[in-house]
């Protein structure tokens, strides 16, 4: 067992996950980074190690398979003391439900719902053994309204928000603090940026830089904000608009992605 304490970040090869890794490394925190194979995680790990002089280990696996989630948890628990867990890995998409195949639906639910839940469950005893611990789950603004042409994705993110809030309540009085963030779309890669820009003005206004989101999240996590808001205007609009207005409005906006 390594004597150091680590932060484990999933989906760490690019986008928000990579931004989380860099922001934590800037604070001198040692890292366990997780991503799909062949996503350049070894290079990301080496660059962070060289730049910030922290210990960086990495684990490449596909978290849409349950046995891989359990394998990751065994590796982490057997070798490391973990005091920060950032469940960032997630997937989505935009398509008509009648044109979505079974694997498309399975992967969203497996990664967004089951992997987050099971990894948290498996690593929680490790976190509870530390003097202090933090869990940050990445939900989405989509958690606050059903949306046509996405259907499964908003439902999965509603689960993450509810799961996080319940876990926060349950772990009160322990050494582990739980937070959830609900960001909007981010410039994680050119394909996603292009897709969101097709939504029109709303999409462009809500599009955020991953580095900014990570910086705000890490700051507020250590400040122990249980619900982290990174785009207050979009947050307020989605909370104030009644469902009968925002649901068709968001559906029309999202439909532009597949038009």
Q: What is the CATH number of the domain that holds 74?
A: 3.40.50.720
The C-alpha R_g of the chain, in whole angstroms, comes to: 18
Structure tokens at 209: 């830089």
Q: What is the pTM of this model?
A: 0.91
Host domain of residue 24: 5-255
- With 70 as the cut, is the pLDDT of residue 79 above it? yes
Q: Name the average pLDDT for the chain.
A: 91
Tell me the C-alpha distance between 233 and 131, whole Å: 36
Tell me the C-alpha to C-alpha distance, in Å, between residue 222 and each of 14, 134, 182, 240: 23, 8, 17, 28
**Residue 157 pLDDT more than 90?**
yes
pLDDT band at residue 218 under the 50/70/90 scheme: very high
Query: In which band, very low, low, confident or very high, does the pLDDT at 188 lie, cut at 50, 70 and 90?
Result: low
pLDDT higher than 90, residue 58 = yes
From CA 244, how far away is CA 239, in angstroms rounded?
12
Closest CA to 21 of 50, 56, 64: 56
Q: Which two tokens stand for residue 37?
A: 């194979």
Number of domains in the chain: 1
Tell me the pairing of strands 56-60 and 227-228. unpaired
pLDDT score, position 231: 83
Q: Using CA atoms, how far apart are residues 200 and 191, in angstroms rounded to an integer?
A: 16
- pLDDT category at 1 given cuts 50, 70, 90 is low
Asked if the model's pLDDT at residue 154 lies above 60, the reply is yes
Residue 201, pLDDT > 60, answer no
Question: How do strand 227-228 and strand 81-87 relate by DSSP bridges?
Answer: unpaired
């Amino acid at each position: 067992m390594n004597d150091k304490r680590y932060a484990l970040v999933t989906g760490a090869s690019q986008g928000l996950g990579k931004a989380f890794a860099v922001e934590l490394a800037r604070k001198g925190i040692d890292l366990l980074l997780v991503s799909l194979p062949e996503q350049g995680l070894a290079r990301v790990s080496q660059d962070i190690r060289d730049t910030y002089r922290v210990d960086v280990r990495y684990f490449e696996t596909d978290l849409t398979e349950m046995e891989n989630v359990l394998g990751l948890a065994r590796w982490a628990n057997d070798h490391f003391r973990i005091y920060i867990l950032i469940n960032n890995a997630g997937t989505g998409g935009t398509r008509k439900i009648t044109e979505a195949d079974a694997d498309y639906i399975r992967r969203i639910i497996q990664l967004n719902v089951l992997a987050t839940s099971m990894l948290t469950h498996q690593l929680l005893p490790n976190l509870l053994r530390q003097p202090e611990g933090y869990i940050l789950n990445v939900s989405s603004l989509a958690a606050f309204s059903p949306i046509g042409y996405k259907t499964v994705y908003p439902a999965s993110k509603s689960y993450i928000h509810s799961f996080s809030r319940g876990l926060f309540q349950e772990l009160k009085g322990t050494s582990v603090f739980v937070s959830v963030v609900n960001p909007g779309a981010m410039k994680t890669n050119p394909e996603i940026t292009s897709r969101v820009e097709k939504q029109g003005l709303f999409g462009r206004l809500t599009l955020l830089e991953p580095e900014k989101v990570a910086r705000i999240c890490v700051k507020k996590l250590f400040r122990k904000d249980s619900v982290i808001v990174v785009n207050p205007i979009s947050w307020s609009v989605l909370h104030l608009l009644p469902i009968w207005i925002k649901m068709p409005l968001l559906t029309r906006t999202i439909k532009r992605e597949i038009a």
